Structure 1
Amino acid sequence: MRKKERTEAILRRLHELYPETQCTLDIDDNVFHLVVRAVLSAQCTDVRVNEVTKVLFEKYPEYTDFLSAGEEEIGRIIKPCGFWKAKSHYLYEIARMMRDDFGGEIPKTQDELMRFPGVGRKVANLIVSEMFGIPAVVVDTHCMRVSGRLGLSSGKDPAVIEKELMKILPEEEWAAFGHRMVDHGRAVCTARSPKCSDCALSEYCPSSGKKV
C-alpha cells in the first residue's frame, strides 16, 4: 500500500475511532483564557489545568485583572500546575504585552503569538486553529510519538514533523488530526507498552508489535 493510500486509510479509521475529537483544554469565547490554559499545560495535565483555571478565571476573568493582581497572586492560584513562578511571570507579561503592544487583543498570527513568553509553535498553532479558524497542525508529544510510529513522520523536531504532516494531510484535517493523535496516544499508543494487539491501526502501522 502506497503512503498516500495508507494515510487516507489511517485518517478514515481515526475518524471512526474518535468521531467527536476535540481539544482537551477547556475552551470558551475568551482567547486570552485559552492562551493561559495552554501556557499552564506545560508539564501539567489538561485536567489539572482546567480545574485550576476555573478558580483563576472566576476571580480574574480578564487580562486587565491579571495586571491588577500581580505575579505573586497569580502564582498563588496556579501553583498546582507546577513551575508556578515562571508561569506566573509569563502570564503577567502576556497581559502586559496585550496592553502595551497589541491594543488589548490576542494577535492572530503564529509569529506574533510566539512573541509571548511561554508560547511556542505548538501553543501558537493551537490558538490560531481553535480560536481563529486558521488551519494548523498542533505537534505535541503524543503527535510526535504516534505519527512517527505510524510512519507518517520521520523527524524528531516538532517543526519538521509539522511540515511533514502538512504535506500529506488535507488542510481541513490538520487541527483534528492533532487532537486524534492525543486521543490515540493516551488510549492505545502509549509511550511505554503500547497496546499494539488492541490497536485498530495496527494493519497500517510499520511499528506494530515492535519494542519501543
Structure 2
Amino acid sequence: MKTTKATKSTPVKPVAKKAAKKAAKKATATTGKTTGVAKKATATIKKAAPAKTAAKKATPAKTVAKKAAPAQAAPKKAIVESHAALVRRARRINRELAEVYPYAHPELDFENPFQLVIATVLSAQTTDLRVNQTTPGLFAKYPTPEDLAAANPEEVEEILRPTGFFRAKTKSVIGLSKALVEDFGGEVPGRLEDLVKLPGVGRKTAFVVLGNAFGRPGITVDTHFGRLVRRWQWTDETDPDKVEAAVGALFPKSEWTMLSHHVIFHGRRICHARKPACGACPIAPLCPAYGEGETDPEKARKLLKYEKGGFPGQRLNPPQSYLDAGGIPAPPLGAG
C-alpha cells in the first residue's frame, strides 16, 4: 500500500513544475511591465535633464553679474580731519574760487529790491536765463508793487508762462506785491524775519535779497550750493537750514554772500552734478571727490559750461574765449 501511494504521488511533481513555470512567466511579464514603466520614467527624467542643464548654463550669467558688480563706483570715503583743518581747507577753496570768479554775482537781472525779490521767486524750477528773458516784459507792464498787486492774474500768467508753474508763480508774485503794499508801505523789507513772511519767499530767497540788495551777509543754499558743499565734505547735512548753519560756522559772516556766489558759479560751470570737469578744476588738489568726473584735461575742458548772459556785459560766451592756457576759466573779455 505504501508503494502504491508513492507511485500515485509521483505525477504531482510535473504539475508543480508547470505551476512554477507559469508563476515564473507571470513574474517575468510583471517584471517586464514594471521595467517598461521604469524605462518611461527614465525617459521622462532624461527629457527633464536639459532643464537642469539649462539651469547650469544660466549660472554663468549670475557669475557675470557678480563679476560686473565690482565695476560700480566705490562709496566715497570721508576725510578724517579736525575741525580746524576743515576750516582751513574750506577757506582755501573759497580763496581759490574768488581768484577764478572775481566777477561772481547774482545772475538775475534787477534794478531794485522789488525786481530782485520777484525775479528770485520766479527762478524756482527754471533757469536764471529764462527769468531774465521774462522779467523785462513783466516789469515794463508792472513796474511797482502797487501795479502788480492790482494786476489781472490771467494777464500775469500769460507773461510768466515760459518760466513754468506759471499759475503758482502768478499767485505768489501778486500776493507778495499785495503784502508789500499792505504791510510794508510798498517797500521790500530789509530784515530776514519780515522777508520770509512774504508769499513765495523762503530763507534762500530772503538771503539773495539781503545780500545783494541790502548788503547784509547771507548764505544762499540752492541746489548747486548744497551739492558742492557735500561733495567737498564741508557737511553731510541735506536740510537747507542745517547746511546754512554748518557752512556758516566755517567762514566769517562778512564772506557769506560772496561765498554763495563763488560756489554757485563753480557748480554751474565746472563742478556739474553728473559729469564734473575734474581735469579742469582749479581746486582739484583740495577736493575729496576728485575723480568722480572726467580727469583728462582736454576732455574736461569740453565739459565746461557758460550760460548766455552769465557774465557782466556779455551776451555771447564762447567757452574757449574764457579759458586760459591751463584750462581754467579766465575773467570775461573786456572785464576790468
Residue aligning to 2:94: 11
1:158 corresponds in structure 2 to: 240
Match for residue 31 of structure 1? 113
Q: Which has the higher contact order (CA 8 A, sep 6+)?
A: 1
Contact 1:70 1:92 in 2 (8 A): no
The secondary structure found in structure 2 opposite 1:69 is coil
- Cα distance in 1 for partners of 2:184, 2:273 equals 39
After TM superposition, give the deviation of residue 153 of structure 1 in Å.
2.1
Give the percent of matched residue pairs that are identical in Structure 1 and Structure 2. Answer: 39
Q: State the secondary structure of the residue aligned to 1:90.
A: helix
Counterpart residue number, 1:75: 157
Q: What is the identity, as a one-letter code, of the residue corresponding to 1:52?
A: T
Match of 1:105 among 174, 187, 192: 187
State how many pairs are aligned.
Answer: 210
The one-letter code of the counterpart of 2:110 is: I
Task: Give structure 2 stretches of 5+ with no counterpart.
Answer: 1-80, 294-336
Q: Is the 8 A contact 1:21 1:183 kept in 2?
A: yes
The equivalent residue for 1:181 is 263
Deviation for aligned residue 1:8: 2.5
Shift of 1:5: 2.0
Which one has a bigger Cα radius of gyration?
Answer: 2
State how far apart, in whole Å, the 2-side matches of 1:184 and 1:8 are: 15
Asked whether the 8 Å contact 1:139–1:161 carries over to 2, the reply is yes
Question: Which of 16, 20, 28 pairs up with 2:103?
Answer: 20
User: If the length of structure 1 is used for normalisation, what is the TM-score?
Assistant: 0.95
Following TM superposition, by how much is the alpha carbon of 1:58 offset from its aligned partner in structure 2, in angstroms? 1.2
Which amino acid in 2 is paired with 1:172? Answer: S
What is the letter of the counterpart of residue 211 of structure 2? S
Is this contact kept in 2: 1:38–1:123, CA < 8 A? yes
The answer (yes or no) to whether the contact 1:148–1:154 under 8 Å persists in 2 is: yes
CA deviation map 1:46-84 (0-9, x unaligned): 011011001111121111111232221111111101101
Equivalent residues in 2 for 1:1-212, closer than 5 Å: 2-28=85-111, 30-210=112-292
Deviation at 1:4, TM superposition (A): 2.3
CA distance in 2, matches of 1:183, 1:129: 16
1:157 CA drift (Å): 0.7
Give the aligned residue type for 2:199: P
Could you tell me how far apart the structure 2 residues matched to 1:112 and 1:208 are? 41
Q: Which runs of 5+ in 1 are unaligned?
A: none
